[in-house]
Structure 1
């Protein structure tokens, strides 16, 4: 059995403060017996302060893929698997120079990486897009990572599922609606979509999904929280609602996926030759 934890928490620009918060969340997840902890997008350095008009002089600090801070999180993770987000500086010789990125670590080092592929309008001014979705093996199972807007596109999660992902780690800095604010979060359009995408991506691929998110506010944005763990049938097994904290659920990963696919096997029953616009690959 594996315990999966997804965090709802606030992270800002202060890297040392962020590292201390990561240490606390890892300790809390360890106390819950978690083997996997998924932290939010922009865990190290915080998210953009203004999604519509990002200030080029107030962007999150960019870290190299081998930055010592990443290795410090790996040391804190020890026996656990921990996924978290950061702003990645380009490797020497790469152009352009910034990516919204996620990394998965354990005490053994880096297990997997992802650069956000789908950038909403505001992020285009601050980041460059990644170009692939790859699953990777970990002690808790094969994982694929998505960064917030990525999960809006079914092809993203499907690509990872086809690459053998058993768990989708969805790291987000997902705010309430910026253009159509609701009086209560429960009525917010983005809050509804956040839950809908989490459940749909899990159910349509018959995999587990751990969805983390930022809380609190950054600039003019208010983040949703709503961290959760979703089953291969699309059921929410644990959630935080809007509050900071951990959503923790225990499952036999392989057995639950096999049970979900016992009769209906979505990945095997696809008809790529009938689908438009994807080259017959998804």
Structure 2
């Protein structure tokens, strides 16, 4: 297989759906002109994230979209011959989910509902209940959303399900309690970057990390979109100011090289990982 050109985006999105789509169209057009075949957009890029971490009580949260509705079909039409992953608020069964969808011009390729909910997010969204990889024209993918990546089990579940590439879409803000004047030095920026590199290396997968940038309500997002190879090395990154991180990699060869001597999935000893009798509280 030839090398795959892929890109991860750090950009601002808000409640203006038409404006969001216009921004997505510009990003996709630029990526297509650069030969990108896989593009990761941020969490909540259709309708924006929360104004604050109070569970969406400030403004009711983003618009809830039908997972089979016109907005998702429009996103697929924009994607065309590319594979595009994007976050949105999903309406299903009378509930809202913080969701991600993977599309191409052929339609929906895969979906994910955010499982792990930070702070007050559960005041607006129901939680997803699992992680599953799926096949796409650019390889077998898995998706997760933001806080999901803080849990090693999330990425490991996708890797064990055969994911070659993991796309993590985020709306990850800087620290609220002890913000750094320089966002690049913020402790939450460091955590964001550390999780990206650790999860790629632990599972020896290609990792695309997209994130919101700029500010929305009381939140200041850390940007820092990046592409990480199976050895945990950052191939391309936007920094905190935002932009598009683009890299090219022969994914099967990169995975085979990383796993040849020390195969983290192959060398697992599941019988040794018995769950504890009890988990201590805070």
TM (norm. structure 2) is 0.95
Q: Which position in structure 1 is the counterpart of 2:35?
A: 33
Q: How far has the Cα of 1:56 moved from its partner?
A: 6.1
Q: Which position in structure 2 is the counterpart of 1:4?
A: 6
Q: SS where residue 180 of structure 2 aligns?
A: coil
Q: Which position in structure 2 is the counterpart of 1:221?
A: 219
TM (norm. structure 1) is 0.95
How far apart are the structure 2 equivalents of 1:56 and 1:175? 17
Q: Which position in structure 1 is the counterpart of 2:19?
A: 17
Deviations 1:42-61 (A, max 9, x none): 01000000113531643100
How far apart are the structure 2 equivalents of 1:87 and 1:52? 16
Deviations 1:162-219 (A, max 9, x none): 0000000000000000111112112211000000000000000000000000011111
Q: Which runs of 5+ in 1 are unaligned?
A: none
Q: Which position in structure 1 is the counterpart of 2:280?
A: none
How far apart are the structure 2 equivalents of 1:57 and 1:31? 37
Runs of 4+ in 1 over 4 A off after TM superposition: none
1:84 maps to 2:86: yes
1:113 maps to 2:111: yes
| Aligned counterpart for 2:99 among listed residues 98, 101, 115 | 101
Tell me, yes or no, if the aligned pair for 1:56 and 1:126 is still in contact at 8 Å.
no
Tell me, yes or no, if the aligned pair for 1:43 and 1:84 is still in contact at 8 Å.
yes
Tell me the matched-pair count. 275
Q: SS where residue 121 of structure 1 aligns?
A: coil
Q: Which position in structure 2 is the counterpart of 1:148?
A: 146
How far apart are the structure 1 equivalents of 2:174 and 2:40? 21
Map 1:118-137 onto structure 2 (within 5 A).
118-137=116-135
Q: SS where residue 120 of structure 2 aligns?
A: helix
Q: SS where residue 48 of structure 2 aligns?
A: coil
Which range is displaced more, 52-61 or 248-257?
Answer: 52-61
| Aligned counterpart for 2:177 among listed residues 159, 176, 179 | 179
Q: Which position in structure 2 is the counterpart of 1:249?
A: 247
Q: Which position in structure 2 is the counterpart of 1:236?
A: 234
The structure-2 alpha-carbon separation of the partners of 1:53 and 1:83, relative to structure 1 and needing over 3 Å to count, comes to closer
- The CA RMSD measured in Å over matched residues stands at 1.3
How far apart are the structure 1 equivalents of 2:122 and 2:276? 23
How far apart are the structure 2 equivalents of 1:20 and 1:223? 21
Deviations 1:28-47 (A, max 9, x none): 11111111000000010000
Q: Which runs of 5+ in 2 are unaligned?
A: 278-282
Q: How far has the Cα of 1:272 moved from its partner?
A: 1.0
